[in-house]
Structure 1
Amino acid sequence: MNFREMRRRRQQLSDEESIAILRNGTSGTLGLLGDNGYPYTVPLSYVYADGCIYFHSALAGHKVDAIRACDKASFCVVAQDAVQPKEYTTYFRSVIAFGRIHIIDDEQEKLKTARMLGNRYNPGDDESLQKELEKGLSRMQMLRFDIEHLTGKEAIELVRHNESKE
């Protein structure tokens, strides 16, 4: 599949920088095709691993219905958003992933990804995580977003600042 190239290529982040934003971020906005053809976006916590983004979800709801109807999705993470009032701009860094999102049906994969997510937000507390998974795993979905295209961008002012340091 061909994805649109960034218009302002000078501001494009490298793949490594974009992946670093995904690795370090803690939340982003998932974009789906919602009811009646309207875009549906929802902020979510996530974990990035091996070219995929993982989320948890309730068993039912708008998000799950949208995923079942259309697996195409996007996910945006904003790493920096520093408002510069006197310049009428923001110094931003962000990434957008495009791909396909799936409900994980395999119980072993579901457990593995739930552990990844739990360890991401509460590292080093395996006992508490185990109790939480025993209590709640049956009442949650795990979702896998397979990235097909990833693009990152930063404000031109940050590009210029980095170029001046070289």
Structure 2
Amino acid sequence: MFKEMRRQDRELAPEETAEILTNGVYGVLSLNGQNSGNHAYGVPVNYVYNGNCLYIHCAMEGEKLARIHNNNKVSFCVVGKANILPEKFSTQYSSVIAYGQAHAAGEEERVNALLAFIDKYSADFKEKGIEYVAKAQQKTQVVRIDIEHVTGKSRKA
């Protein structure tokens, strides 16, 4: 179903891939679907990685949810470190692409995911974050992406 990576010499080990997904600040969610003249849609989002799934959050309605409703197969790209190598006409980088199916998270899962966002992005404000989640959870949708396939790639030098 998924093609083998062409540049296998640049393939990352599963631990390195997981590290990039765990520590990345944002990723680009790519969606298909039937909106905006049937163009593909990629949008940068904050996310939380949990071993076999990714979580994103959004409003209760909008472009992302409409497209997921029409076609829930998505890809998600995270770029780790990147450094331009001008003398080599290249870039030193690490990146991960995860492929999966997106679903709306259930009530308890949604709250747990929102708290995980607080842990990742606002750990020094945990108490305020818990209050924020309590107020925002009814107007915030959480989407779970069940990872079916993941690849990591890098150019080290």
Three-state SS of the structure 2 residue aligned to 1:6 is coil
Question: How many angstroms does 1:126 deviate by?
Answer: 2.9
Question: How many angstroms does 1:124 deviate by?
Answer: 4.3
Contact in 2 for aligned 1:26/1:47 (Cα 8 Å):
no
Rg bigger for which structure?
1
Question: Using the alignment, how far apart are the partners of 2:108 and 2:77 within structure 1?
Answer: 28
Contact in 2 for aligned 1:71/1:101 (Cα 8 Å):
yes
Cα distance per residue 1:103-151 (max 9 Å; x no partner): 11x2111111111111111114332012211221111101101110000
Question: Using the alignment, how far apart are the partners of 1:108 and 1:27 within structure 2?
Answer: 24
Aligned residues: 155
Contact in 2 for aligned 1:58/1:141 (Cα 8 Å):
yes
Question: Using the alignment, how far apart are the partners of 2:24 and 2:84 within structure 1?
Answer: 19
The amino acid across from 1:72 in the alignment is K
Cα distance per residue 1:29-66 (max 9 Å; x no partner): 00000424311000001110131111111111111101
Q: TM-score, normalised by structure 2?
A: 0.94
4+ runs of 1 displaced by more than 3 Å?
A: none
Q: TM-score, normalised by structure 1?
A: 0.89
- Counting only pairs closer than 5 Å after superposition, residues 56-75 of structure 1 correspond to structure 2 as 56-75=57-76
The amino acid across from 1:58 in the alignment is A
- Over the aligned positions, Cα root-mean-square deviation in angstroms equals 1.2
Question: How many angstroms does 1:72 deviate by?
Answer: 0.2
Question: Using the alignment, how far apart are the partners of 1:77 and 1:45 within structure 2?
Answer: 10
Give me the identity figure in percent: 37
Cross-structure match for 2:20: 21
The amino acid across from 2:82 in the alignment is D
Question: Using the alignment, how far apart are the partners of 2:89 and 2:51 within structure 1?
Answer: 38
The amino acid across from 2:22 in the alignment is R
Cross-structure match for 1:39: 40
Question: How many angstroms does 1:92 deviate by?
Answer: 1.0
Q: Which sections of structure 2, spanning at least 5 residues, go unmatched?
A: none
